[in-house]
């Protein structure tokens, strides 16, 4: 069913054209606008220095940029890795038979279908220093004042931010893995068990390789999203240092409009870095696939 | 033993479900508080104790009062989601069909292009797109928001519809053609009913994605188009305590998603998720 | 080569972006109205008649307060309706959004009568931005009938609050709406009044005994900037306190500015180890710290804040206002301005006039605790009595106490330098010599 070979005729082009045009104009066009402005063409702000590298030099020369880049990576990577591992365990558990499965399948998807802002609300209520957890520990006599509770939100430690990411994304990754488990079916595993493989061996040599594409795909989406996320670090992060997206927002929001090309430079760099990371990851996972393929 | 839950898996699952659904309970409690001071585990003063004495509507009264504009924001949210979904369906169905049925040079290039919007940060697209809309004079309008939402929705929808078209039995369409059905007839009477379940699933996802977008709505609407997401953002962006109105809004903004889950339970097969959805 | 087509579309768009916007001709009737009004050729009846014709007015305001939103819908909108104009409001998360909209439309060539914003509630650098971009309607304030409620006579020093907005001359291009003062509040159950610090030296001593029980909002948020300004006034080595900070940046050499700011910033650095190790990002976050009992006192703008928040349940009923610091508590006004491309200029004038009317001002004071923007001494005896009787309590201090220590805000051009210096010297702990930090901050502007 993979379609007919051949050249694309005009009528078939017509099918693709509207969708591609919209994306080319809105998406690619937006990026080109951002890039052009970052090189100094923003007459509406009185900036007409095109082409100049001044804004990139300014951004890259600021120590704050590198600190922010580090923070951006940190907030993006930790939940991706932790979430990936957790989702794997959960998807495997969910694929078993148990009582109340229908309810579990309903409940676990809730975070997937609500905005990140809901997660932010929950984090504020639970993890603030005067939040419910702090009160619980106070009631248990563990802490005396809210100041004794560790700072989880509005610090650059980012625990609150990463909690929201995990809450939102573990269900998403679990859903992707679980769906693939269903598509794959249970026969390969059963066959391996019948042949005397231990549960660990079955997982390592049968289940995991089959889940790899889904695992790579879902962690990739999650990483790329976290890298470019805005609302969560903006509200739950520190005033300084914070992620590059928040820095870009602040520069763009600055009353001094001549700062805006610098904001553009940051978002362009952000896009570039994100794309490079995704490509690197894809290359690595392909290589890993081949190694695993040979070993199996 | 395959098929049964190991004890650690049972504990993990229970913990997971508790972490996911549990926090909604305190949010509901917070929405009924008047004052919830440290270190009280339950509201110090409940909403109904002060409700009548307040000079202006409090908590849920405020949310349901026309002053809060929550209802128009809900209307805007659904209108935008509906328009986005209709336009996206109209654009995605022919695109997915071409991509699924035909092999041609450059197809992988197009597929790669379709994954870019997943990788590029929303703020990069948002800031850049602002200038397109300023040039077009659409800045701050509902249509600007709708068009902006197409960027994350379109690539996703096309990706969901491609496998739907791949599974479609091409033989059936050929038979219809052999039996003398015209192109239009074949499309409306054979093809469309066959892809309807897949398209419906894609449409539901699209509604959820659109409902949840904040940054693009905020930039393109420029304060003039209120949606549930922008209302909630202005309530929580201060990052202070979660006040009763913010808690109430948090619950209301979940409604479209909950409806989606209830509906999708009946409509959507599990394997649709195998392609992944990412809603920002 | 399947990407060719999208690439072409894209190139087209780039070309579009390169074309500078073409200035369109303005709405001539609106332009004529503006010129006639500003030249004093129209009676107020002419303005009111045109306002009724226009039929609506679009007011853009910060929409984060539920009480304010309710007051506008319940009191302001019906009153405006009586004048034949429908009040439409846009609630903003930040006033910058409205300023952006006006400037964007102006860039796009939408001139007098053709924009979408009729009025903005603002002050400080938002007004400065519009004024420096020539994006204001004109000098209207003194031509409104209700201008009699304000001191606009520049020979009276009390007129400064109306004629100067963060050091930027208002030139009658904005109408005062509310007057605010930077206050601090504390919970008397935790920090009894007699133990509370009264000035910055006492604060330092108190902090050493009660480490971590105070913090301030982080600059560049204006609530944080204002705290820093208050400190700078108190430690100004010239002995002239706030007066030096009224001058625009052009009148300072970097050395001179560094000299008057250094003792204040040294103080901020000195107390930092004793503060709660968090600078909240805005007043809401600061209030949360206060309500959780993490800090015992907190500062922000709000003469009647304590009253409002006791009513909504946000503050405990033992919260009171403090007279801190008694070396000077910054007072300023916020304004209503009309942008150059207001689509309903006559209705905007009528609305600005209505908002300056005594009954509206008194209602706003009584119902939501937004202080009078009009000047008390310009009111009739009876009005003064009414104003006194409807005013909510400050809780613990009197209006006279607060008025006695009021000092003006800092010049907007210096505020930017102050926030940059704070970021470098306090937040990023720059080890450069202080004059160099100040020099860099001045250059960045």
Higher pLDDT, residue B182 or C358? C358
Contact call for B240 and C284, based on CB within 8 A: yes
CA C173 to chain centre: 15
Please indicate, yes or no, if residue B49 is contained in any of the structural domains.
no
Identify the residue among A25, A51, A147 best suited for mutation to test binding to C, counting C beta carbons within 10 A and taking the highest.
Answer: A147
B36/B52 Cα distance (integer angstroms): 18
Q: Which segment of A189-198, C11-20, C406-415 scores lowest on mean pLDDT?
A: C11-20
Query: Looking at the partner chain, which of A32, A253, A257 has a beta carbon nearest the beta carbon of C13?
Result: A32
**Residue A292: what pLDDT?**
58
Strand partners, C136: C339
Residue position matching structure tokens 């082409």: A51
**Does B280 touch chain C if contact means CB atoms closer than 8 Å?**
no
Q: Are the beta carbons of A20 and A12 closer than 8 angstroms? A: no
Please indicate, yes or no, if residue B212 is contained in any of the structural domains.
yes
pLDDT band at C1 (very low <50, low <70, confident <90, very high): very low
CA distances to B24, B39, B254 from A136, in Å: 17, 9, 26
pLDDT per position in chain B (280 positions), as tens? 346 788 888 999 999 999 999 999 999 999 999 999 889 999 999 999 999 888 889 999 999 999 999 999 999 999 999 999 999 999 999 999 888 888 888 888 888 888 888 889 999 999 999 888 888 878 788 999 999 999 999 998 998 898 888 877 777 777 887 887 787 888 888 888 888 888 888 898 899 899 999 999 999 988 889 999 999 998 898 877 889 999 999 999 998 888 888 887 766 555 555 555 444 4
Asked if CATH classification 3.40.190.10 holds for the domain at C181-331+406-444, the reply, yes or no, is: yes
Q: Are the beta carbons of B245 and B67 closer than 8 angstroms? A: no
Handedness of CA B207, B212, B218, B220 (dihedral sign): negative
Q: C156-214 pLDDT, tens per residue?
A: 989 999 999 998 899 999 999 999 999 999 999 999 999 999 999 999 999 999 999 99
Terminal alpha carbon distance of chain A: 29
pTM above 0.95, yes or no: no
Q: Are the beta carbons of C367 and C375 closer than 8 angstroms? A: no
- Domain of B157? 66-275
- What is the ipTM, given to two decimal places? 0.89
A78/A162 Cα distance (integer angstroms): 8
What average pLDDT does the structure give for chain C? 91
Please indicate, yes or no, if residue B164 is contained in any of the structural domains.
yes
3-state secondary structure of C299: strand
Compare all CA atoms of chain B with the CA of C281 and give the residue at the minimum distance: B238
B232/A122 Cα distance (integer angstroms): 13
**Residue C124 Ramachandran class (φ > 0 left, ψ -120 to 50 alpha, else beta):** left
Contact call for B110 and A12, based on CB within 8 A: no
Q: Which segment of A232-236, B175-179, C217-221, C240-244 scores lowest on mean pLDDT?
A: B175-179
Percentage of the residues of chain A whose pLDDT score is greater than 90: 53
- Residue B144 sits in a domain of what CATH number? 1.10.3720.10
CA distances to C112, C210, C269, C413, C420 from C426, in Å: 45, 21, 6, 20, 10
Chain B residues near residue C3 by CB distance under 8 angstroms: 106, 109-110, 113
CA distances to B23, B34, C295, C317, C411 from B46, in Å: 19, 5, 25, 15, 45
3-state secondary structure of C328: coil
pLDDT band at C26 (very low <50, low <70, confident <90, very high): low
Higher pLDDT, residue B172 or C110? C110
Q: Is the pLDDT of residue A138 over 80?
A: yes
Instruction: Tell me, yes or no, if the two domains C28-179+333-395 and C181-331+406-444 fold the same way.
Output: yes
Instruction: Just give the CATH number of A18-295.
Output: 1.10.3720.10
Query: Looking at the partner chain, which of C10, C276, C280 has a beta carbon nearest the beta carbon of A147?
Result: C276
C181/A163 Cα distance (integer angstroms): 39
pLDDT band at C16 (very low <50, low <70, confident <90, very high): very low
Residue C255, judged by CB atoms within 10 A of its CB (0-12, 13-18, 19+), counts as exposed
What fold does the segment set C28-179+333-395 form as a domain? Answer: D-Maltodextrin-Binding Protein; domain 2 (3.40.190)
Query: Looking at the partner chain, which of C67, C93, C97 has a beta carbon nearest the beta carbon of B237?
Result: C93
Q: C73-85 pLDDT, tens per residue?
A: 999 999 999 999 9
Q: Are the beta carbons of A156 and A64 closer than 8 angstroms? A: no
Alpha helices in C210-341 (DSSP H): 222-235, 254-271, 283-291, 305-312
Report the number of distinct structural domains present in chain B.
1
Q: What count of residues does chain A have?
A: 296
Chain B residues near residue A138 by CB distance under 8 angstroms: 38-39
Q: Which of residues 89-108 of B touch C (CB under 8 A)?
A: 104-107
**Residue B268: what pLDDT?**
59
Residue A10, judged by CB atoms within 10 A of its CB (0-12, 13-18, 19+), counts as exposed
Q: Which segment of A98-107, A148-157, A227-236, B101-110 scores lowest on mean pLDDT?
A: B101-110
Chain C residues near residue A20 by CB distance under 8 angstroms: 5-6
Query: Domain spans of chain A?
Result: 18-295
Chain A residues with CB within 8 Å of chain C CB? 8, 17, 20-21, 23-25, 28-29, 32-33, 36, 41, 43-44, 64, 128-130, 134, 145-147, 151, 154-155, 239-240, 253, 255-257
Contact call for C93 and B105, based on CB within 8 A: no
Q: Is the pLDDT of residue C15 over 50?
A: no
**Residue A1: what pLDDT?**
38
């Amino acid at each position: 069913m993979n379609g007919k070979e051949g050249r694309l005729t005009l009528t078939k082009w017509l099918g693709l054209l509207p969708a591609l045009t919209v994306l080319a104009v809105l998406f690619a066009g937006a990026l080109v606008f951002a890039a052009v402005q970052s090189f100094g063409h923003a007459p509406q702000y009185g900036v007409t220095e095109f082409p100049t590298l001044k804004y990139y030099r300014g951004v890259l020369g600021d120590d704050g940029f590198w600190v922010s880049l580090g923070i951006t990576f940190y907030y993006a990577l930790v939940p991706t890795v932790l979430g990936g591992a957790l989702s794997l365990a959960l998807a495997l558990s969910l694929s078993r038979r148990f009582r109340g499965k229908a309810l579990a399948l309903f409940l676990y998807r809730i975070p997937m279908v609500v905005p990140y802002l809901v997660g932010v609300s929950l984090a504020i209520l639970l993890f603030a220093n005067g939040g419910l957890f702090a009160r619980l520990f106070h009631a248990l006599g563990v802490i005396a004042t809210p100041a004794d509770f560790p700072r989880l939100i509005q610090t650059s430690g980012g625990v609150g931010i990463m909690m929201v990411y995990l809450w939102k994304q573990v269900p998403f990754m679990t859903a992707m893995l679980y769906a693939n488990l269903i598509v794959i079916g249970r026969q390969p595993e059963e066959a391996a068990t019948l042949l005397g493989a231990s549960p660990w061996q079955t997982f390592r040599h049968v289940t995991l390789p089959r889940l790899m594409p889904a695992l790579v795909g879902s962690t990739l989406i999650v990483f790329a999203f976290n890298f470019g996320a805005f609302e969560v670090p903006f509200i739950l992060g520190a005033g300084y240092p914070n992620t590059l997206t928040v820095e870009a927002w602040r520069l763009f929001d600055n009353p001094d409009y001549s700062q805006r090309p610098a904001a553009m430079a940051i978002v362009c760099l952000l896009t570039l870095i994100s794309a490079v990371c995704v490509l690197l990851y894809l290359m690595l996972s392909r290589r890993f696939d081949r190694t695993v393929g040979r070993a199996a | 033993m395959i098929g049964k839950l190991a004890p650690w898996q049972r504990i993990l699952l229970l913990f997971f479900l508790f972490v996911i659904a549990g926090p909604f309970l305190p949010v509901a409690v917070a929405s009924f508080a008047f004052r919830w001071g440290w270190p009280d585990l339950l509201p110090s003063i409940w909403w109904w104790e002060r409700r009548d004495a307040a000079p202006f509507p409090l908590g849920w009264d405020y949310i349901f009062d026309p002053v809060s504009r929550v209802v128009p924001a809900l209307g805007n949210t659904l209108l935008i989601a509906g328009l986005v979904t209709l336009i996206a369906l109209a654009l995605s169905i022919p695109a997915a069909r071409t991509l699924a049925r035909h092999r041609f040079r450059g197809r992988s290039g197009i597929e790669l292009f379709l994954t870019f919007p997943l990788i590029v940060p929303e703020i990069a697209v948002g800031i850049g797109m602002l200038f397109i809309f300023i040039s077009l004079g659409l800045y701050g309008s509902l249509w600007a928001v709708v068009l902006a939402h197409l960027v994350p929705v379109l690539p996703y929808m096309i990706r969901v519809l491609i496998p739907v078209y791949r599974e479609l039995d091409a033989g059936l369409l050929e038979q219809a053609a052999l039996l003398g059905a015209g192109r239009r007839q074949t499309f409306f009477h054979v093809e469309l009913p066959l892809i309807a379940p897949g398209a419906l699933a894609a449409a539901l996802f699209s509604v959820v994605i659109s409902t949840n977008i904040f940054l693009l709505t905020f930039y393109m609407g420029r304060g003039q188009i209120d949606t549930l997401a922008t209302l909630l953002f202005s309530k929580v962006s201060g990052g202070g305590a979660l006040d009763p109105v913010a808690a109430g809004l948090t619950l209301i903004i979940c409604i479209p998603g909950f409806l989606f889950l209830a509906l999708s339970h009946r409509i959507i097969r599990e394997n649709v998720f195998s392609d992944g959805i990412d809603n920002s | 080569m399947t990407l060719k087509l999208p690439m072409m579309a894209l190139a087209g768009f780039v070309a579009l972006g390169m074309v500078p916007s073409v200035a369109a001709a303005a709405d001539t009737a609106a332009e004529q109205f503006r010129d006639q009004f500003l030249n004093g050729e129209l009676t107020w009846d002419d303005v009111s008649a045109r306002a009724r014709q226009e039929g609506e007015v679009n007011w853009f305001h910060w929409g984060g307060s539920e009480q304010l939103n309710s007051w506008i819908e319940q009191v302001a909108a019906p009153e405006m309706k009586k004048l034949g104009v429908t009040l439409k409001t846009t609630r903003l998360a930040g006033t910058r959004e409205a300023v952006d909209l006006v400037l964007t439309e102006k860039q796009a060539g939408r001139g007098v009568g053709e924009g979408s914003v009729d009025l903005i509630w603002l002050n400080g650098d938002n007004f400065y931005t519009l004024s420096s971009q020539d994006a204001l309607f004109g000098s209207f304030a003194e031509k409104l009938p209700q201008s009699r409620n304000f001191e606009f006579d520049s020979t009276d020093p009390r007129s400064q609050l109306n004629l100067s907005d963060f050091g930027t001359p208002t030139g009658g291009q904005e109408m005062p709406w509310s007057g605010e003062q930077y206050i601090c509040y504390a919970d008397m159950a935790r920090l009894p009044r007699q133990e509370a610090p009264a000035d910055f030296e006492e604060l330092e001593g108190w902090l050493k005994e009660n480490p971590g029980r105070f913090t301030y909002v982080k600059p560049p948020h204006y609530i944080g900037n204002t705290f820093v300004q208050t400190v700078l006034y108190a430690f100004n080595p010239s002995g002239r306190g706030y007066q030096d900070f009224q001058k625009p940046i052009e009148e300072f050499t970097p050395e001179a500015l560094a000299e008057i700011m250094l003792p204040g910033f040294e103080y901020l650095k000195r107390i930092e180890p004793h503060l709660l190790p968090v600078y909240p990002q805005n007043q809401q976050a600061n209030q949360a710290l206060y309500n959780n009992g993490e800090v015992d006192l907190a500062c922000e703008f709000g003469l009647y804040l304590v009253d409002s928040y006791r009513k909504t349940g946000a503050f405990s009923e033992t919260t009171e206002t403090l007279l801190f610091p008694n070396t000077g508590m910054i007072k300023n006004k916020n304004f209503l301005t009309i942008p150059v491309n207001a689509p309903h200029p006559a209705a905007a004038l009528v609305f600005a006039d209505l908002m300056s009317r005594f009954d509206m001002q008194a209602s706003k004071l009584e119902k939501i605790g937004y202080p009078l923007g009009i000047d008390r001494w310009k009111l009739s005896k009876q009005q003064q009595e009414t104003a006194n009787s409807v005013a909510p309590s400050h809780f613990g201090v009197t209006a006279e106490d607060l008025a006695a220590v009021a000092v003006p805000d800092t010049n907007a051009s210096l505020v930017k330098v102050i926030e940059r210096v704070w970021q470098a010297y306090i937040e990023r702990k720059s080890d450069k010599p202080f004059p160099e930090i100040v020099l860099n901050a001045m250059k960045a502007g």
